Structure 1
């Protein structure tokens, strides 16, 4: 067809071929009768077909048949149709696609060979086909996908590990952490990555960790050390820390693995041994653990709005700074741990190594009229024998008791703050205990639930109000008589005497003695516990619904007890 074409046409074809080759494309041009006008030589590099099928004048049907026979028909069919089709059906489908105004596809020629096809049919019927080899691009995408899958698999494996793992770069910044490491710090992975140990722990520990990190990175020596870590939730983590370098010194990474041995430490029995038979762990091994990171932040952990569900971690101020506590233990680790915890609670602490020393201590204290209010003893020493402090409350402690739970344990021992005040004042004066003068207070709380008592104590201390807590209605009436509170928060469901009876008793006494009514707010979980008519008859102006909040308590105090005249204070 082109045998008699002018030299200019041949030159045009040559230029077009050079341009297509420079662009990395294989170009085919078809006329309106589907006969080949031009085919770039690069087409032969894409398809293993005979050059005769690229001669000008070749029918499109014959060219497509050659492609099918060369293996394109066994590749990925167009438009997502994965049904294997026959030769004639495949050719017919391709002919219809060539007459679309625009069509694009990516097809696999062989197992690892991809071709991109872009068809354009012009308004004058001329069809242009642009072909390009995407094999390298597709192989690169496959490699990236495999790398992503390997990274995701590695991350899943690390997150499933029960022990904490972290990876640092040459600058000792965290570049990878697993879930256990995040839980240990109480932070998310995004908050940890890119930071250093200086952002997480005290400077003393940060400098120590960084020195060992650099030694491992520079020298390649493994570092192993037993450490006692306080996690973000206040629990002790007894761990063996392993550090090692991965890679060469110039571009190596530091991997730190925390091997958790807490179950072994917590398993020490009364004789200071773990297990039975030949598998025994000596108690002295505990002393090899160095105090390390303290990741617990009591201010961050304390959420006043949720104190109804979570016991407080501090003693009320009135109790804490007056308590004298004696700790009996021969374990240096337990001694350091609870001495620090008691000091944070503002308690005076004395320490002896055995029960046998209690007698000598009692004689020494008798000379200065001082004695402890509570005995804490290491439960591994066994039950305390009869001795001079038998009348005092005794609490067993162990290494698996978290320091944050110590305050609640002390309060649960049944110590009365009023008894402690009188006893310690008397001892300081070298006299026998005498009853203390009763003083007016801001708030009287009548509540029998231990958790709610701690909640109210935390809230009222935070508001700077003086208070007393009665555990039943009878005690509430007694405290009302002796302390003249400005406001009473009265729970209705209490033992001995319930809240209804306590309110009636107080109101009857006020009327008999012509006293000004004390504002009483009932504390309840049900609004119908006291009818409006009964509240009005007993001059109960308001309800406080559980769970309580500091804002609501403060508002009630300012409304009813912050110095207003009596008529305004009790007005509903």
Structure 2
């Protein structure tokens, strides 16, 4: 009988341990004296403590002390996370929670790890505590929140677009329309969504639109068509309609975007013949996302020559550009045409002779020839008897450097651009190059209040939402190198520095800022932002010169308390 009882006693913990393995749980069982009765092997996956502690008879206080010494600080309220927690104080709080009849919480114990703690006190005084990894669930929740925010932002942007936008499903039923489109028929969304074009337009128009939609839906090839639409108030709307197919097979959508060209067109049709032409006085000027300052300077030098020859008024002038193709078309012809000149280019001596002969035969005078000095045969052209302005494009003169630092200002729409001088100091208001710190002002007042160094886009969004809600001006740096550069440029009043970033970690960035401040004679509070509050990490942050730390996930209360402590408390100002 005794042997049977001892075997049963050993089988019960083994069954409990196997059940924990199957469920992925870590489990503790304590008696009424807070001494360990059982601990599953899974516990070591959650808590970095010595396996030698997980034996029957170990006190709860000793296990909690080992957890604290390992650097874990779960169960701390958000307002206290940025402060150092006393060891005995933390152990006492955990024991107090341990004696509740039922206690449950979810804690973040790593950058991407969340653990759910559950405790249950039985009537006989024994306690059962379980630990469960809910990281996948939390990541899904964060992704869901990010997707929800992104969808809301997308809907807000589409709703505010000035161009009418329509989305139809595979059955060509309206599933989304923005405000600009609803204004055309003057209908509410409920009167459009769920319907087809046949419910909203006459049969002829509906058949034409449906044919285009079906073509895009079947082939996936975008189409473009010019249309004349009559608004609900009777005014005509001239649009260039683009249709696209998006989505996956079996879930295709047709997106229609209408570009309003009403202000640019010369009506040439009717409702049954919607064709139109651009107005004669409509000019498109070249533009690009990235401006090459050298190319722009060359343009201004060339046009200055034109102004000097033509008295500054180029409207109606017939100007022939003689230069290599790339320079003539890339720098001059479009700009001359935009300023009202009738301009074109020739690229060889033969083309020049033929052009001059044809112009003479047609009695079309040439008012000015702009001649590139590097052009092969320029001597013959210079002595052709026409007004010639020679351009020394192969040499960079003082005019070139003057033009490089000029700023063109357009006073109003349709006015001619003019040039004004810019003080040299203004050229460097937005950037600087320095080999040391002697040229930087030690008393420079920052133009933003908070610099956030954070590489995770979701966390960037969270920080921005919180700081915007507080009315605090801020900038976001995506890595440590950018954080140092933005600090030099803006001299913020506070830096929130993530310690784990690409290119340069937050600790190295903080150390570089502190070293630079020795030469500048300034001091910027730096608060570390960490995924977990480990003693080793906190000491590294302090050694790098940081003033405090907070742990993720951040909250408005946490950021506001840090802001009050390091910004409002120092400057006495309150964010609007």
What TM-score results when the alignment is normalised by the length of structure 2?
0.44
Larger radius of gyration: 1
